Structure 1
């Protein structure tokens, strides 16, 4: 096994959803945009050499798990949302060895003129 956070990876960047996660009642009522950046560590050497779809982890399938998790249980904290997503991905895809996930909230309820609030988790598959 390669060292954590190195090597091959499947990447989904700037994946947007509209949802109702957040601490404040306005966030639960009105909702807001969220953007995910995701890296999943997985050995891609076999599909790289065979060019066979059946030998790879489909980024479409990864997206569907992220979407289902996002649309599932409402969380107050994006840290919890990120951890729920990591847990679901590890459960569904045993070939994923590590995950880096960033969730961004461009409309976070703070008085910023530009930018976004975000969190990032780095997780290795539990032994």
Structure 2
């Protein structure tokens, strides 16, 4: 098994619980970790044997453009999409951060982290 990580992804998007947040927009960050078998990619040097970083980034970017009320929902959608698109991925962990959230005081960011394993195949 191996780990692929994309860290510090940044987006400007229109998420938020309050309608005003969805109109004004805000800066968001995403950190992504994907666990899969990297042995074949390491031995063959073929991109088809691993998870393409560019594809991962594009998937996250597309999900970030669809408005959501909750960071939890964004993280859930990203995980669903990655597990659906990459059948060989064993688990995904996603952290979604909102910079300067409206909490009534100083807060650099609010972050939600979700992690999900692919269910084991039925015997």
TM-score, structure 2 normalization = 0.90
Residue 9 (structure 1) aligned with residue 26 (structure 2): no
Residue 124 (structure 1) aligned with residue 117 (structure 2): yes
Preserved contact between residue 13 and residue 27 of structure 2 (Cα < 8 Å): yes
Q: Residue by residue, what CA displacement relative to the aligned partner does 1:67-103 show, whole Å, maximum 9, x if unpaired?
A: 111113x211000111011111111111111011101
Preserved contact between residue 28 and residue 98 of structure 2 (Cα < 8 Å): yes
Runs of at least 5 residues in structure 2 that lack an aligned partner in the other structure: none
Residue 66 (structure 1) aligned with residue 44 (structure 2): no
Corresponding residue number in structure 1 for 2:84 = 91
Residue correspondences, number: 120
DSSP 3-state at the match of 1:37:
strand
TM-score, structure 1 normalization = 0.87
Corresponding residue number in structure 1 for 2:21 = 27
Let me know the Cα RMSD of the aligned residues.
1.4
Q: Which moved more, 1:83-92 or 1:113-122?
A: 113-122
Residue 103 (structure 1) aligned with residue 96 (structure 2): yes
Q: Residue by residue, what CA displacement relative to the aligned partner does 1:33-80 show, whole Å, maximum 9, x if unpaired?
A: 1100000111111111122223221111111111111113x2110001
In 1: Cα distance, 2:15 partner to 2:94 partner:
17
Residue 52 (structure 1) aligned with residue 60 (structure 2): no
Q: 1:113 offset after TM fit, Å?
A: 3.1
Pick from 63, 68, 77 the counterpart of residue 70 of structure 2.
Answer: 77
